[in-house]
Chains A and B, each alone.
Chain A
Amino acid sequence: MRRTPSSLAAADPGPAHSIEFDGRPIPALPGQSIAAALWAQGILAWRTTRVTGRPRGAFCGIGACFDCLATVDGQPNRRTCLLPAAPGTVVTTQEGHGRADLAC
């Protein structure tokens, strides 16, 4: 069997729980960040940029670049590489500045 990061570290995290990404359930391991849970499913992008609408996801992985922003539990502009993927967390792809709710 191919080596995985979990097998390398001999991790035994117990059963995955579930978070929601754009309406579909995504498994997440206890202790993973939202960005890590998305990467584990091969999802690399979860926002579009303000000016050109291009897709972005995690870049620096440590909270410095702000590229990994998403709307989390209704709050836009949250850094998903820093936020734990708690059971039931609702993540939605953030479009532009994430403040469409303020438009009028």
Chain B
Amino acid sequence: MVGAGPAGLAGAVAAADRGLRCVLLDAGARPGGQYYRHPDPALRAARPDRLHHHWSTFTELADRLAEHRAAGRIELRSDHHVFLLEAGRPWHLHATSADRATRLRASAVLLATGAYERQLPFPGWTLPGVVTAGGAQAMLKAGLVLPGRRIVVAGSGPLLLAAAASLTAAGARVPAVVEAGDYLGYARRPGVLAAVPGKLGEGAVHGVALARHAVRLRRSSAVVEAHGEDRVTAVTVARLDREWRPLPGTERRIDCDALAVGHGLVPQLELATELGAATRTVPDGTLALRVDARQRTTVPGLWAAGETCGVGGAELALAEGELAALAIAGAAPPAALLARRRRLRGFAELMAGAHRPGPGWPGWLRPDTEVCRCEEVPLARITEAVEELGATDARTVKLLTRAGMGWCQGRMCGPAVACLAKGAGPAGRAGAVEPAPDRRPLSCPVPLGELAQLPPSTDADADAGADVDVDVHVVGAGQSEGQGEDDPR
């Protein structure tokens, strides 16, 4: 099981319940993933539940996990980042932890790697104090800190309401939640909504909490600029037309000392796409792994659950993790579980469509707006690559401009660069190429010394495409001029 968030946890305990031996690998220090992220025990938080919805679901899972660990059925490896999967019988998983590489063998792999946030650049988004909405949540849940006292929350998607609610509960003032979508997409499908009353309830709880703190929700609007010299001091908000183009004359300035911003989540797939697993396009424009009714990917022996199959929230992830585990164990899925998954998946697709970035968002960029944060590549260079040098996809833009070639490997700017390369409008620019899934032989930076320590390849490894030469090239290319976090020292 790769990933100890809701899907991985549910999968591990369900598999262990059926007698399978599992290793649960997670990059974080404690199980729970981003959703159930919680304070380090040393902070001795008596009420971590106040930072969460459905905290009791997590504590129940954690108790079952502890029982299985004590009985030797589940081995939990925290602080382990899986960087490479090799398909085969058995599978080989390579993980890096505290500057050491480890290799595991398994007969089946459940990928529950979750998602990271989608960002759309705007002038000033690199100023200190501008943070991701999920980052503000993560730092609050894990470290009990806020980036400021007066925090504007902006972007698109339901995470914004959740973030605004927890920031205000923790003592911040949130002068506005700025949502680029219009929420009308939900209203067009009342049947799908009625099937998930819990989701409406959640929305209502956030709505009431925000109303109590006098938080203003501005729909069909976006932060089009963050102001400040060495840190953010104010933002400009503009109304958007249906295509997300800012409407001239509607700008308003809001003073703040932090901005939490994000445009939904992007499934984290690279371990699977590297093996050639098939993907599908979700209504929000992201790519997700294609799975069948039993959570099987198109790669034999590889299952996937939760956000990796399309962003849909913790409840869906729990259901899918359990379904995958039952399938791996050869057990029949309960009809009620299948029905719950279907309902929640339906809602997830509806939600995704309602918050899909409109094609007009590049209208809030200026030529000098940095698009790639790591390599400091401004829009003008990307425009030049596309319009004068003939780039039609993100990969070519990257080779011509270095956008996406820095430390984060395009995780922050990738969706925006792909969109700029493709051109605005549903059809895009003539000759533009649909974004392909990221292919990364290694899913995170790995010190060269660790790669050198890998056990010698067997013939089976070679057949599965493990090619250390290629890995080394990629690490070097992504971390030019020796700035990588994990450079060999």
Interface on A for B, CB 8 Å cutoff? 2-14, 29-33, 35-37, 39-40, 44-45, 49-52, 54-67, 69, 75, 77-79, 81, 84, 97-99, 102
**What separation, in Å, do the CA atoms of A22 and B412 have in the docked complex?**
28
Interface on B for A, CB 8 Å cutoff? 27, 34, 39-48, 50-51, 116-117, 126, 128-132, 134-140, 142-148, 169-171, 230-231, 258, 373-376, 406-408, 411-412, 481-485, 487, 489
Minimum CB–CB distance for B52 against chain A, Å? 10
Q: Which of A61, A65, A97 contacts B408 (CB 8 A)?
A: A65
Top-9 shortest CB links A-B = A36-B143, A31-B40, A61-B135, A31-B42, A66-B407, A30-B42, A44-B128, A3-B171, A9-B45
> For the complex, would chain B's binding face be called helix, strand, loop or mixed by DSSP majority?
loop
The answer on a CB contact under 8 Å between A61 and B139 is: yes
Minimal Cβ-Cβ distance residue in B for A98: B483
Chain B residues with CB below 8 A from A67, complex form: 373-374
How many residue pairs at the A-B interface have CB separations less than 8 Å?
174
Please, could you name 9 A-B residue pairs with CB atoms under 8 Å apart, sorted by A?
A8-B51, A31-B143, A37-B143, A39-B143, A49-B376, A58-B131, A61-B132, A62-B134, A64-B411
Chain A residues with CB below 8 A from B489, complex form: 75
Q: Which of A13, A44, A77 contacts B231 (CB 8 A)?
A: A44
The answer on a CB contact under 8 Å between A44 and B147 is: yes
The answer on a CB contact under 8 Å between B142 and A8 is: no
The answer on a CB contact under 8 Å between B41 and A31 is: yes
Chain B residues with CB below 8 A from A2, complex form: 171
The answer on a CB contact under 8 Å between A5 and B171 is: yes
Chain A residues with CB below 8 A from B412, complex form: 59-60, 64-65
The answer on a CB contact under 8 Å between A77 and B170 is: no
**What separation, in Å, do the CA atoms of A30 and B393 have in the docked complex?**
46
Known: A9-B47, A11-B46, A75-B489. 6 other contacts (CB 8 A): A44-B128, A44-B231, A56-B126, A60-B132, A61-B132, A62-B138
The answer on a CB contact under 8 Å between A59 and B135 is: yes
Q: Which of A29, A58, A79 contacts B139 (CB 8 A)?
A: A58
Chain B residues with CB below 8 A from A35, complex form: 139, 143
The answer on a CB contact under 8 Å between A60 and B134 is: yes
The answer on a CB contact under 8 Å between B481 and A97 is: yes
Chain B residues with CB below 8 A from A58, complex form: 131, 135, 139, 147
